[in-house]
Amino acid sequence: LLETIKQQQDQLVAKVNYLSSRLNSTPGPDVEMPNNIHFPLENLEAVEAFEMFLKEPSNGPARQKV
């Protein structure tokens, strides 16, 4: 029983180390804001365009940089 627990612990440590290294690795390519969005947003159309940008799932990395 103790040997099984030790093996499971070793597997978990390896998984945690792997995930930790992925979090601390160099980030992917920089994601930039679209050219049509400039801050401060000056009108309703600009706010709506920014909201559409934020709703787009593929813009997840860019949302984190905002």
Count Cα neighbours of 31 within 13 Å in the Cβ-side half-sphere.
12
The C-alpha angle with vertex 10 and arms to 5 and 12, in degrees rounded to 5, equals 95
Q: Give the whole-angstrom CA distance, residue 8 versus residue 2.
A: 10
Amino acid identity, position 61: P
Which parts of the chain sit beneath pLDDT 70?
Answer: 24-38, 61-66
User: Among candidates 9, 3, 10, 62, which has minimal Cα distance to 37?
Assistant: 62
Domain of 16 in residue numbering reads as 2-65
Domain count, the chain: 1
Confirm if 37 and 46 have CB atoms less than 8 A apart.
yes
Q: Using one digit for the tens of pLDDT, what is the confidence trace for 20-34? A: 777 766 555 555 666
- What is the pTM assigned to this prediction? 0.41
